[in-house]
Amino acid sequence: MSLSNLIKNWSYFRVRRPYEGQYEKSDYKWAMVIDLDACIGCNACTTACYAENNLPVVGKTLYGKGQAMHWIRIERYWGEGDVMQTDFPDRGAQYLPMLCQQCEAAPCEPVCPVGATHHSPDGLNTQVYNRCVGSRYCSANCPYKVRYFNWWNYPERAWPNPLELQLNPDVTVRSKGVMEKCTFCMQRIRYSMDKAKDQDRLIQDGEVVTACAQACPTSAITFGNLLDKTSKVAAMWKRQEIDLATDHQEKEDPNMRGYRVLEFMRTYPSIVYLERVRDYEA
């Protein structure tokens, strides 16, 4: 498809779901919205993720060898002649938090030889650690590069006694030779789901908050159930998807655009990024 046709049919790639009716029998479909204009690149989300999910700090040497271990990273962008550099030089770079996009049609799932990565009924791309054999096919097939391999037995070297006492008991400490990634803080989700089930109800909006969203000082990250039409994240998604199929001037804020990263690959990510459209020629 040519670039002109791609732009002309852009709404097709954004609106159409890969599997129609995939969540008709489900009560939950977890999703996220990240406001890039609110993100200040402070890395509070990254730090909170380390503490919540028992991530080891590998250090500069191993990081330089390509053995990074973080479930969310802050990507920084600088552009020559960028309006952000000329009009707002004190801000510096533009920031984009990148984590597992929890794709509905995840490229990492079909290539796993042992089925260690699969799709849950509530829209999460999950990882079964005791089934993983470390083939790293999922990492090679992930277009977002947000899967990480345990090169070392980190529990023995990252938390010497008594630092192991700081670990989150609700999260498994992964061993050498397995893949891992962001889970949307599944332990928090499962706790709230069990609590709601005992009370014979569904999880209310705002009852589950991921560690990154909770730690964000500017509230740039919004998390919730996409199937709950009263939730904030569902309202933000609906507004963006409707406006993507129509003229953007009909929007409540015509200068705010939402997009999903690499959505033309039809992975249908569960994260929408918001960013204000600026007039670079002004």
Lowest mean pLDDT among 10-14, 45-49, 80-84, 222-226: 10-14
Could you read off the pLDDT of 225-264 as tens digits, one per residue? 999 989 999 998 887 764 444 444 344 555 667 889 998 8
Pairing of strands 30-35, 271-276: parallel
Tell me which of 8-17, 83-92, 256-265 is least confident: 8-17
CATH number at residue 185: 3.30.70.20
Range of the domain at 85: 27-276
CA-CA-CA-CA dihedral for 175, 181, 184, 189, to nearest 10: -30
Tens of pLDDT, residues 110-129? 999 999 998 998 889 999 99
pLDDT above 60 for 69: yes
pLDDT at 280: 47
Residue 20: inside a domain: no
- If you average pLDDT over every residue of the chain, what do you get? 84
Tokens of 202: 């569904």
User: Does 184 map to a domain?
Assistant: yes
Residue 210: the pLDDT is 96
pLDDT at residue 59, as a whole number: 86
How much helix, strand and coil, in percent to the nearest 5, is found in the chain?
30, 15, 55
State the total domains in the chain.
1
Instruction: Indicate whether 22 belongs to any domain.
Output: no
Q: Report residue 192 CA to chain centroid gap.
A: 20
Query: Is 10 within a domain?
Result: no
pTM, to two decimals: 0.84
Look at residue 16 and tell me if it is in a domain.
Answer: no
The answer to the question of residue 7 being in a domain is: no
Domain contains 3? no
Residue 282 lies in a domain: no
